[in-house]
Homo-oligomer: A and B are copies of this chain.
Amino acid sequence: MNGTINIEKELLSFIPKDDKLITTVLESMKYSLTAGGKRVRPMLALEFAELCKGSPEAAVPFACAVEMIHTYSLIHDDLPCMDDDDLRRGKPTNHKVFGEAAAVLGGDALLTLAFETILSERAVKLNGFEKCVKAGRLLAQCAGAEGMIGGQIIDIESENKSVSADHLKIMDSKKTGELIRAACLLGCISAGADEDQMKAAEKYASCIGLAFQIVDDMLDVLSDEATLGKPIGSDKDNNKSTYVSLLGIDECRRIANELTDQAIESLSAFDGDTSALKEFAEKLRDRKN
């Protein structure tokens, strides 16, 4: 599991050196970048790089770029005009600490830094120009209006509406799925993977991405039931459609199992050690929070 790479340290290494005139924006960036993320996306990028016989070290700038995109999206998502959240992973959200203006700018700066990182001299030295272009282009597509940002607008416009399970799937495949896909594929690109490997990585990504969301919904309902004594299927927010409210908890469990099996099955396209990715898929399915 790429034990020699310290992704926390690597992420910070791409932040510009301190300059007192711009301290606020640098601190805003660092605060959220080091706020206890689970580093799922960098892990996926490094694992797929290794699995496709590339070097995890070469994939580090790509892995860091995906995490920067993920982090900026959380900062902007938490803003008062978006989800208006005061806490994120148990800590005050970026705008609560630095104010809204510095949160907007810190997010913008992390988004910009993701592309500076993926196109950096270090990234080129390790991967060459062509792979850096392909990685940057893919990341932009996955993070942009047709990808993650598109998912966010669908989410906003679906609030307080009852929508279908297919609508939820499209929303989630964009809002979270596209960046998971980017993470897996960026590892493949760094390693010079072939078409079949890229397709298998995409399959793995889409399966674990959707399984994650479904399990999330199940955990919400089960925790409500445990703490509030509510019957399964009655959502805490009745206006919000979830996989559980639309499909029922048993069907959700069945689909989550099936997706996890498919994710693991897709790994058979690789002849390297897939145990870490297999365990990860199972852990997502079996988690309790």
Contact = CB atoms under 8 A, between A and B. Distances in A.
B112 A153 contact: no
Say what secondary structure dominates the interface of chain A: helix
A35 to B, nearest CB: 18
Contact of A140 (B116, B150, B153): B116
Contacts of A22: 145-146, 150, 153-154
A168 B198 CA distance: 50
Contacts of A170: 21
Contacts of A152: 105
A101 B81 contact: yes
A87 interface: no
A19 B146 contact: yes
Interface stretch (A39-47, A128-136, A255-263, A269-277): A128-136
A76 to B, nearest CB: 6
Nearest to A119: B137
A124 B133 CA distance: 9
Contact of A111 (B25, B108, B129): B108
Interface string A90-133: 00000000011110110111011101100111001000011011
A253 to B, nearest CB: 28
A58 interface: no
Contacts of A191: none
A115 to B, nearest CB: 5
Given A112-B140, A116-B141, 20 more contacts: A16-B145, A21-B170, A24-B157, A25-B145, A79-B81, A79-B104, A80-B81, A81-B101, A81-B104, A101-B153, A108-B108, A109-B144, A111-B111, A112-B145, A112-B149, A115-B139, A121-B137, A129-B130, A129-B132, A129-B133
7 contacts: A29-B145, A81-B100, A112-B140, A115-B115, A115-B140, A116-B141, A129-B133
